[in-house]
Structure 1
Amino acid sequence: MAQALPPGVRIHNDPSSPKRRSLRATRAFSPGSTIATFSNPLLALPDGATMRTTCNYCLRTTAPSPSPSQSAATPPAFKACTACKAAVYCGPACQRAHWKAAHKAECKMFARVREQAGKDWLPTPVRAVAQVLLTLQQGKSGGGGREAEMRRAFIGSADGEEEDGLEGNVEGFKKDGEVWKDMELQATAAVVYAGLLQGEEVLEKAREILCKIQTNAFNRLDADTGMAGIFLDVGLAMVNHSCVPNAFIGFDKRTAILRAERPIQEGEEITISYIDNTLPKAARYEALRLYHFQCDCVRCKDDLDVYEVCQSSPVIPLNSFSLHPDLAKLRDPPGDRAKVSKAEMEVIHKKWQALAKPDGDDEESHLKLARERWKVCRPLIEARMWAAEPLPTTILQLATTWQTSYKKVVYALPLFCFLSTECDPYKFVAPFMPWRIKNIVAVVKLLAVTGELTASGALATRCSHEALVGTLATADQVSICEALLRLAVHHGASSVSDDWEVFTQAKSMLEDVESLEGREQESNMLRTWVEDPEDPRGAAFFENQVLRPIQTLSTFAVEILESTLDGGSLVKK
């Protein structure tokens, strides 16, 4: 029995191809459109360490609101399984569904975990393998449904239909001594905690299952929304990798949404990136090591940097409605890229990765690491290659640290403006890509802080950069927020999902801004601009009241970074 697929995709089999199987489009898709949704995964688990703060079935990360009978002071909470006390749920419906899908098989296991390890959770790979083993054990009597699907995916189809099984790359994992040793330990732990006999046949099966999970499961990690864990759907696992993909995946609780990043024609292979595809070539190859193949996409074959990939992108015109409406710069990026060779970029990234992580989580430790990273990135800085990794990550991590700092929060604003205008559009050309929307929403949140400080007169006492203070004092910060939120809402509709936390936050904040009194004229101008970005009056309002202040704030970022990371002063006249 072949794997059932949602409309929009089909599996293409080609035994003569190194890829063997691929996912193909059944019709044409435009950038940002939904290709297919996958809502019935074989495995969908929260990260082990977060299984007590995530519904173990629907995977929501925020507890439900208190019921009317609860006191307003009673904090909402997930409800734990009454038997094992380990898995938690947002409500009875999810608990019943998870019991039927997986927890009936694994519930008793957590008693052994508590007894033998003194914990109420398991590492994600161990729990995933144990779930599969227990489900297969439960279905030995000939059960259908989920047990049959598990058997086809992890053991093989009884009727020999090759396309049903998952690829495991077992021999490839065995060649990597340290990795294989760790996988053997995880597989053994799964067998032990599942309460199965530790015969070689069972252990071998557990290792093979773990290899298939490692090869085919998707990591749901999103630190900004608190999401973590794995997602495995056999059909979605057929999508192959490219460092210049035409699609991307977003996760909404228990559902994976496959969206087009570029135009896709009927019959065309759908590809995604399994890794951060903006890294230098050697770093990408290292990240792909556990998938046991070498990418042969145009980015790898021609060793294209992030700017070269951007220049040829078919979605550049979408940026006419974005914080980077200058399409000419995307086609002919600024900077002196001849100053830094591809080989030098590889060395820079390797040195950057080798730097020791901070000893503590305090601000000073992060600042020390940022200074070391900034020094390593000096050739990229001098060439003004702001979008070339690891420079954007260096800026982002410092901006994120300052975002929650009482003393430095004001300085985080120019950094996020800089990321949104000088880094993100070249790294992620489509304006609906999640990272671009996240950083735009970060700018809005920081403007809410600086707006309050400006209104109270406290900005000058919190910020020694006089030009930054002056720009914020004269800017219409509310209009800037409204325009950015309209961008986030417009492009967010083509990003992850309607329930994506960043998207729903943007919609909620936009409603708050729209409810402010006395702003009818400004809001009408921005609505005009959204409806027609080329309307002269609307475009002029956006240019003067929104884009120009954002670009001015962005220009302060480099001098703030230089002053902070090269030992200078933040005081600027």
Structure 2
Amino acid sequence: MPPQLPPTLRIHHAPPPSHKYRSLLATTFFPPGTEIATFANPLLALPDGPSMRTTCNYCLSTTTTSSSSSSGRALKSCTACKAAVYCNPSCQRAHWKAVHKAECKLFGRVREQVGKDWVPTPVRAVAQVLMLLKAGDQAVKEAFGEGGGEWELEGNVEEFRGEGEVWRDFELQATAAVVYAGLLEGEEMLGRAREVLCKIQTNAFNRLDADTGMAGIFLDAGLAMVNHSCVPNAFIGFDKRTAVLRAERPIQEGEEITISYIDNTLPKSARHEALKLYHFQCDCPRCKDDLDVYEVCQTSPDTPLNSFTLQPDLAKLRNPPIYRSRVSKAEIETIYKKWQALGNPEGDDEEDHLKLAQARWELCRPLVDARMWAVEPLPTTILQLATSWQSSYKMVVYALPLVCFLSTECDPFKLVAPFMPWRIKGILAIVKLLAVTGEFTASGALATRCTHEGLVGTLAMADQVSMCEALLRLAVHHGSVGASQDWEVLKEARSMLEDLESLVGREQESNLLRAWAKDPEDPEGAAFFENQVLRPINTLSSFAVEALEAMLSGKSLVKK
């Protein structure tokens, strides 16, 4: 069956040499957060190599195999190759019909030659395409150049050929794909495999989401036509075997749909470095005028949506309290390059990790002095410390101010739309840490192990259960706008909210929060949220920099 576009999109052709020789235009108006199109019949959708034994190879749901765990839904192995696994017989039959019938013998060859049950993701992807081409699959033929027409994917083969080390890796991967696919080796077939790999590299999407255990690639010929911008108006979310294109900003009828292929909050040179493998120079407004995250935020049409968030101060978003004159954009570029050059520590030595954190924080000192908390690499420096402290029994209490700080002073400026998945994950991180500190507070352990009197006092006075309920209502509201209803993070937030709503003796607080969630301007509900939730969140956030400075200067924050 040939590829098809959803009726909400149409293809627009622009004359070369523009890299946007094809683009997708909206056929109607889309408000922020609304679904533009769903892509549920991809050319390729597969888990990455290491996770193919813990992920259904067809629907891509993650769970456990029957041999590795007695809990959860078991995954069953293909009876022939014993490598691919499935969550039910329907998925196994569908995958067999789609591609596994052709690739099943591949895993036997892999096991025989290298003693593994999996192959690297690019190798498996190329092998699948080559076998589907051999089988005469019409959609794959049109996308990979044998059917002709407007569905053929761009490959940038000559440009990749000029990338020495990258091209050598491509040659190895293409050779492996041909060998494992059981195809006749020869320069013509190897050249075809390299071309396929270039097209996959240029057009496939990475499904990686460490928080939900999702990993692998997704390739759809129609979705691949969406062009890049560092100020995109849309974004992509993945739900198992489906990709959903959603509006990040208001999109007018006839407007081009754009997404970001990279982390678009990085400094300009880092963004352009990340785009090198796509072989075009971005000329979006962010790049053309070298706008930082604050400048993009100030003009964003999504700013009003933050009235129902942890950063409801719209005036602050439009006029951030930063000291821009204290650090130039050229200095920021230098800071980021030096920060990257520091690398990562080897092993788990706490002293090595501390030294690296100290070096990173000092590099970011000009950004700290300018109060430009949302400009990279400062937020990533804070996030890495927060992540490290979350997993430390000694430091977990101090992770709470850091995640509150990220959710109020960094993320709203970097990702203005409050329904963006990363912002919802940040809210859930606060909830989970409040659950931990709530236990410490109730048992009296907090005061015996934390040296920060302000932190201890704030948590002792706070209604941490109401804080969690309000945060979960925010997460459920915005998650329902910007993600699939089956998104694991959203389902977790809903489950936690149901548990809190079932607690006895909290009827008054819950009613006030329900009223606030239904109408953020409800006088009583809004006042309750302001006093019992937003105020303590902001107080906790205010301790973040102090805690960082103390810890990174060598001062102990934990009572002996």
Distance (Å, rounded) in 1 between the aligned partners of 2:19 and 2:513: 51
Residue identity matched to 1:41: P
| In the alignment, structure 1 residue 156 sits paired with structure 2 residue 157 | no
Query: What is the match of residue 37 of structure 1?
Result: 38
Q: CA offset at residue 96 of structure 1?
A: 0.8
Deviation at 1:155, TM superposition (A): 2.3
Provide the aligned length of Structure 1 versus Structure 2: 557
Does the aligned pair in 1 maintain the 2:153–2:221 contact within 8 Å? yes
1:493-572 equivalences in 2 (<5 Å):
493-570=480-557
Q: In the TM superposition, what are the counterparts of 1:229-308 in structure 2 within 5 Å?
A: 229-308=216-295
SS in 2 for 1:107: helix
Return the alpha-carbon distance in structure 1 between the equivalents of residues 419 and 440 of structure 2. 31
Q: Give the Cα–Cα distance (whole angstroms) in 1 for the partners of residues 184 and 322 of structure 2.
A: 63
Alignment partner, residue 143 of structure 1: none
Whole-angstrom CA distance in 2 between matches of 1:515 and 1:306: 41
Match of residue 125, structure 1, among 112, 122, 125: 122
**Does the 8 Å contact 1:63/1:90 carry over to 2?**
no
Q: Cα distance, 1:73 vs. partner?
A: 5.8
**Is 1:97 aligned with 2:94?**
yes
Q: CA deviation at 1:571?
A: 6.7
Structure-2 separation of matches of 1:329 and 1:347 = 28
Counterpart pick for 1:312 among 276, 283, 299: 299
Contact 1:249 1:257 in 2 (8 A): yes
Q: Which amino acid aligns with 2:81?
A: C
Whether the aligned pair in 1 keeps the contact of 2:395 and 2:558 (CA below 8 Å) is no
- Residues in 1 aligned to 2:281 and 2:70: alpha-carbon distance in whole angstroms: 55
Change in 2 beyond 3 A, CA 1:362/1:225: farther
- Which digits, 9 at most, give the CA deviation of each residue in 1:230-255, with x for residues without a partner? 00000000000000000000001000
Shift of 1:448: 0.6
Per the TM alignment, residue 527 of structure 1 is displaced from its structure 2 partner at its CA by 1.1
What residue identity is the alignment partner of 1:149? A
1:444 paired residue number: 431
1:142 aligned residue: none
Is the 2:111–2:117 Cα contact (8 Å) retained in structure 1? yes
Distance 1:205 1:564, change over 3 A: same
State the match for 1:83 in structure 2.
Answer: 80
The amino acid that maps onto 1:23 is L
Whether the aligned pair in 2 keeps the contact of 1:129 and 1:187 (CA below 8 Å) is: yes
Identical aligned pairs, as a percentage?
A: 76
* 5+ long unaligned stretches in structure 2: none
Contiguous gaps of at least 5 residues in structure 1? 140-146
> Is the CA contact 2:19–2:280 (under 8 Å) kept in the aligned structure 1?
no
> What is the CA-CA distance between 1:367 and the residue it aligns to?
3.1
CA contact (8 A) 2:419 2:479 kept: yes
Stretch deviating more after TM superposition (499-508 or 74-83) = 74-83
Is the Cα–Cα contact under 8 Å of residues 217 and 237 in structure 1 kept in the other structure? yes
- 2:292 counterpart letter in structure 1: D
Match for residue 111 of structure 1? 108
- Deviation string 1:53-112 (CA, Å, 9 cap, x unpaired) is 111111111249x9xxx9x96664311111111111111111111111111111101111
The letter for the 1-side match of 2:10 is R
Is the contact made by 1:416 and 1:439 (CA closer than 8 Å) also made in structure 2? yes
From 314, 334, 339, give the equivalent of 1:347.
334
Letter in 2 for 1:105: A
- Secondary structure in 2 aligned to 1:10? strand
Please give the alpha-carbon distance, in whole angstroms, between the structure 2 residues aligned to 1:506 and 1:490: 10
Q: AA paired with 1:10?
A: R
C-alpha separation in 2, matches of 1:93 and 1:461: 55
1:383-532 aligned at under 5 Å gives the runs 383-532=370-519
Aligned AA (2:497): L
* TM-score where L is the length of structure 2: 0.97
Moved more, 269-278 or 363-372: 363-372
Shift of 1:481: 0.3
SS for the counterpart of 2:11 is: strand
Mapped partners of 1:50, 1:530: distance in 2: 39
Q: Deviations over 1:541-566 (max 9, x none)?
A: 11100000000000111011111112
The answer (yes or no) to whether the contact 2:73–2:87 under 8 Å persists in 1 is: no
**Contact 2:394 2:558 survives alignment (8 Å):** no
Q: Partner amino acid for 1:62?
A: T
* Letter in structure 1 aligned against 2:60: L
Once the two structures are TM-superposed, the CA of residue 2 in structure 1 deviates from its matched residue by 6.4
SS in 2 for 1:325: coil
In structure 2, C-alpha distance between the alignment counterparts of 1:244 and 1:73, rounded to whole Å: 46
* d(CA) in 2 for partners of 1:331, 1:362: 43
In the aligned structure 2, how far is the partner of 1:432 from the partner of 1:411? 27
TM-fit CA distance, 1:134 = 1.2
Aligned partner letter, 1:25: A
Deviation at 1:365, TM superposition (A): 4.1
Indicate how the Cα distance of structure 1 residues 351 and 253 shifts in structure 2: closer, same or farther if over 3 A, else same: same
Aligned to 1:373: 360
Question: 1:462-507: per-residue Cα shift (whole Å, max 9, x none)?
Answer: 3222211111010000000000000000000122211111111001
Question: What's the C-alpha RMSD, in Å, of the aligned pairs?
Answer: 1.6
Q: Match of 1:317, as an amino acid?
A: P
Aligned residue for 2:481, secondary structure, equals coil
Are 1:360 and 2:357 an aligned pair?
no
Change (3 A) 1:73 1:190: closer
SS at match of 1:234: coil
Residue 489 of structure 1 aligns to a residue whose secondary structure is helix
Structure 2 Cα separation of the partners of residues 236 and 480 of structure 1: 40
Task: Kindly indicate whether the alpha-carbon contact (under 8 Å) linking 1:366 and 1:398 is maintained by their aligned counterparts in 2.
Answer: no
State the secondary structure of the residue aligned to 2:46.
Answer: strand
1:153-232 to structure 2, matched below 5 A, reads 153-157=143-147, 160-161=148-149, 163-232=150-219
Secondary structure of the residue aligned to 1:507 is: helix
TM-score (normalizing by structure 1): 0.95
